[in-house]
Homo-oligomer: A and B are copies of this chain.
Amino acid sequence: MKVIELAAPRVDALHSCTYPDPVPGPAEVLVRLRAASLNFLDIAVATGKYPLNNFPIIPVTDGAGEIAAIGAAVTDWTVGERVIPHFIPNWQDGRMPTAGGGPRRGIDLPGSLAEYVVVPAHSLVHTPAHLSHAEAATLPIAATTAWRAVRTAGLGPHKTALVLGTGGVSLFAMQFARAHGARVLVTSSSDEKLERARKLGADEIINYKFTPKWADAVLRLTDGRGADLVLETGGAATFPQSIEAAGLDSTVFIIGFLSGTEVSINVVPVMERRIRLQGNNTGPVADFADAAAAMTAHGIKPVLDATFPMDQAQAAYRHLAEGGHFGKIAISIP
């Protein structure tokens, strides 16, 4: 497959890179990584579709492990603690310091496909006790993004979320919406995936292969009111129906563009229903920490599709690129 042919040499070259400075500075921590996890962003990086400032790099944004050493000024972390470094280490909370939030691990900074990484202490989040390293590694991008969607829309037990698809962010959004007491509707073209989504808590499932006007189904299932949150992952092909399915004072949370980046919007219903179309680009450490705390409190587990050993990292990339998975793909680090 083309994607992976391109990816192969780079990943080969990169994952054996020696990190230039494995000694943590005063406010830093050395993490012994135990697992990494892939996002589509990692494929874009590996295939040269994402502009890189540095080369070679250690790839993969998301990972988890335990603390191997701490800097002299670090007081709130101890060696041995299980941790997840956030992939945008310097976006602490609130407004983005810069577009995208700042330098990112696996792109501008050393990533997770390595045995060790040095990160700022303030970028760490405690690994929920009920999660393995592989499960924890799946959280930074996907759980943080899903968390922001749910919180931005102000979900609660009086509201309804419509989640497009069953990708990594969508599954987390479904779980977090349920944990806030909201009703969840999910779309997919696979009855099998929809059944699995239902087992994870989805209240209503819509197969858009058989119901191509899925927005009508959403309106029917909500007594004509529409959804309070639409998690927009599809882009060009889904956007018009996403707006049809959105209710009064609702939020269409834009996190992807699987079918194309150029979307066409009729602004009249957007105005009449005061819809908020909110672009988003993951989130800060504080949001990730909140999401992890919620997972701990509710025993929420990420859905792991497969875990590959580190020496088969290319196969992991290939598995993600091929589609068909349900849940996240992890790489274990020996």
Contact = CB atoms under 8 A, between A and B. Distances in A.
A157 B265 contact: no
Interface residues of A, number: 61
A298 interface: yes
A94 B122 CA distance: 14
Contacts of A150: 156
Nearest to A75: B103
B293 A158 contact: yes
A33 interface: no
Given A26-B25, A262-B266, A267-B257, A279 B276 contact: yes
Interface in A61-101: 90-100
B183 A297 contact: yes
B267 A235 contact: yes
A284 B272 CA distance: 14
A44 to B, nearest CB: 12
A181 interface: yes
Interface centre among A95, A96, A150, A157 (most CB of B within 10 A): A157
Contact of A248 (B95, B120, B183, B298): B95
